[in-house]
């Protein structure tokens, strides 16, 4: 059975890029969210296996979203995909429970490699 | 560069800014798959000349002004400024033909999103360098795109420079030879940036 993925990014361009890349690799894209509130609602409802998460969203930062879904007991693995590359922020994301962190710009191959490694 | 800094402080500031811009140029290279060089970097003290034009693109061209506000331990704002011609070339390089030719709302949104995403990555490259070197917690907010004439672009930037009590601004032209685009990449930083440079120099 293919793994269910929720894509969270305020950029339509980035959501499409991630969606097309992961669909081609056989993942099922079950939802997309342009902001934190929608991301949390969809995560609770769809219980995806994986969430790709932009760290800076119009209403929230990614680390807070990770904390909320982990506190709710979701087993969703989170890959943070962000242009923010400073080491302290990357470390913080991992401490909150992210499974991996990809710094933009990235190639589709980079994304596939990281995601495949998780399953 | 700055008469308010000593020579060694000025060297540190130059080094951090230059390294940040190199990272930004590298990010742009990855996105557009075309070699990118930093053509010029102009450092200027604010309020030297209130009538100075911040963006020097063709005055007859529409400007795509993408703004990222810097938040955290020091404040500032950066702008990626593209001409209409630059934007057309980026779209042609990065988007599929069916999106290029479409006027559907989603595809129009996609054409804007690629520009804000490029700005997001470029600004983050510089911010990451500042954050790591100065050991400060800063980040760029979600970018905003405005399509304006040159005069309006300069008015917006001048107004922001005053709002941020900007001490320093620098402007780099990132030239992608193969794609033949030359966006301006302009930064306005408040005096906390300079204070952090001084602190780093002391250490």
* pLDDT of the residue at B1: 45
> pLDDT tens across A47-58, in order?
999 999 999 999
Q: Which residue of B has its CA nearest to A34?
A: B142
Residues 6+ apart with CB under 8 A from B81: B55, B57, B63, B64, B65, B66, B153, B183, B184, B185, B186
Q: B193: domain range?
A: 7-202
CATH code of residue B196: 3.40.1550.10
Phi, psi of A73 (to 5 degrees): 85, 10
Q: What would the two tokens of residue B13 be?
A: 């500031």
Of A12, A89, A105, the CB nearest to B113: A12
Is B111 inside a domain boundary?
Answer: yes
Judged on CB neighbours under 10 Å (0-12, 13-18, 19+), A80 is buried
Domain tally for chain B? 1
Beta-carbon separation of A88 and B131 below 8 A: yes
Task: DSSP letter for A2, please.
Answer: P
Residues of chain A positioned with their CB less than 8 A from the CB of B70: none
* pLDDT of the residue at A97: 95
Q: Does A11 touch chain B (CB under 8 A)?
A: yes
Taking a contact as any Cβ pair under 8 Å apart, which residues of chain A between 16 and 35 contact chain B? 16
Q: In this structure, are residues A90 and A63 in contact, taking their beta carbons and an 8 Å threshold? A: no
* pLDDT of the residue at B181: 86
Q: In this structure, are residues B149 and B62 in contact, taking their beta carbons and an 8 Å threshold? A: yes
Which pTM value belongs to this model? 0.86
Compute the nearest-CA separation of A118 from chain B (Å).
25
Question: What tens-digit pLDDT sequence spans chain B (203 residues)?
Answer: 445 678 888 888 888 888 989 999 988 888 888 899 888 777 765 555 554 656 667 777 789 999 999 999 988 899 999 999 899 999 998 899 999 999 999 999 999 999 999 999 999 999 999 999 999 999 999 999 999 998 888 888 888 877 776 667 777 888 888 888 888 888 888 888 888 888 888 87
Compute the nearest-CA separation of B111 from chain A (Å).
8
Asked whether the ipTM of the predicted complex exceeds the cut of 0.90, the reply is no
* pLDDT of the residue at B11: 85
* pLDDT of the residue at A73: 96
Is B1 inside a domain boundary?
Answer: no
| CATH, domain range A4-113 | 3.40.50.2300
Is B146 inside a domain boundary?
Answer: yes
* pLDDT of the residue at B192: 86
Q: Does A109 touch chain B (CB under 8 A)?
A: no
Spell out the domain ranges in chain A: 4-113
* pLDDT of the residue at A101: 95
Rounded CA separation B81/B63 (Å): 7
Of B117, B128, B141, the CB nearest to A85: B128
What are the DSSP calls for B119-147, one per residue?
HHHHHHHHHHHHHHHHT--EEE---EEEE
Mutation target among B72, B110, B142 for the A interface, most CBs of A within 10 A = B142
Q: Which residue of B has its CA nearest to A81?
A: B121
- Strand ranges (DSSP E) for chain A? 4-8, 28-33, 50-53, 77-82, 100-103
Could you give the C-alpha distances from B115 to A12, B18, B64, B121, B147, in angstroms and in order? 11, 23, 9, 10, 12
Write out residues in chain A with pLDDT < 50, as ranges: none
Beta-carbon separation of A86 and B127 below 8 A: yes
Residues 6+ apart with CB under 8 A from A82: A53, A54, A55, A56, A62, A89, A101, A102, A103, A104, B124
* pLDDT of the residue at B166: 61
Residues of chain A positioned with their CB less than 8 A from the CB of B106: 12
Size of interface A-B (CB pairs under 8 A): 56
Of A16, A82, A83, the CB nearest to B110: A16
Residues of chain A positioned with their CB less than 8 A from the CB of B132: 86-87
Beta-carbon separation of A11 and B141 below 8 A: no
Q: What would the two tokens of residue B119 be?
A: 């700005």
Of A56, A86, A105, the CB nearest to B31: A105
* pLDDT of the residue at B167: 62
Residues of chain B positioned with their CB less than 8 A from the CB of A16: 110
* pLDDT of the residue at B54: 67
Is B90 inside a domain boundary?
Answer: yes
Is B143 inside a domain boundary?
Answer: yes
**DSSP run (H or E) holding B38:** strand B36-45
CA B56, B60, B61, B62 torsion-angle sign: positive
Residues of chain A positioned with their CB less than 8 A from the CB of B114: 13
């Amino acid at each position: 059975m293919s793994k269910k993925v929720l894509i969270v990014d305020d950029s339509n361009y980035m959501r499409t890029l991630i969606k097309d890349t992961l669909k081609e690799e056989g993942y099922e894209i079950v939802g997309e969210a342009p902001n934190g509130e929608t991301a949390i609602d969809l995560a609770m409802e769809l219980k995806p296996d994986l969430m790709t998460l932009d760290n800076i969203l119009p209403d929230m930062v990614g680390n807070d979203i990770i904390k909320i879904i982990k506190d709710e007991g979701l087993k969703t693995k989170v890959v943070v995909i962000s242009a923010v590359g400073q080491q302290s922020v990357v470390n913080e994301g991992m401490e909150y429970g992210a499974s991996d962190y990809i710094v933009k710009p990235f190639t589709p191959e980079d994304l596939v490699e990281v995601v495949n490694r998780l399953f | 560069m700055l008469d308010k800094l000593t020579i060694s402080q000025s060297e540190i500031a130059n080094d951090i800014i230059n390294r940040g811009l190199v990272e930004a140029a590298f990010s742009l290279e990855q996105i557009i798959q075309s070699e990118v060089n930093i053509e010029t970097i102009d450092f200027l003290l604010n309020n030297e000349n209130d009538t100075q034009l911040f963006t020097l693109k063709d005055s007859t061209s529409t400007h795509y002004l993408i703004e990222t506000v810097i938040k955290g331990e020091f404040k500032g704002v950066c702008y990626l400024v593209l001409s209409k011609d630059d934007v057309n070339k980026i779209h042609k390089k990065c988007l599929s033909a069916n999106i290029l030719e479409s006027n559907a709302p989603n595809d129009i949104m996609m054409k804007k999103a690629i520009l804000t995403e490029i700005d997001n990555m470029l600004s983050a490259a510089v911010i990451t360098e500042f954050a790591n070197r100065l050991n400060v917690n800063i980040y760029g907010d979600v970018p905003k795109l405005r399509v304006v004439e040159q005069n309006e672009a300069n008015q917006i930037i001048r107004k922001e420079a005053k709002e941020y009590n900007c001490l320093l601004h620098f402007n780099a032209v990132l030239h992608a030879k193969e794609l033949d685009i030359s966006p301006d990449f302009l930064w306005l930083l408040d005096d906390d940036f300079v204070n952090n440079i001084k602190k780093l120099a002391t250490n």
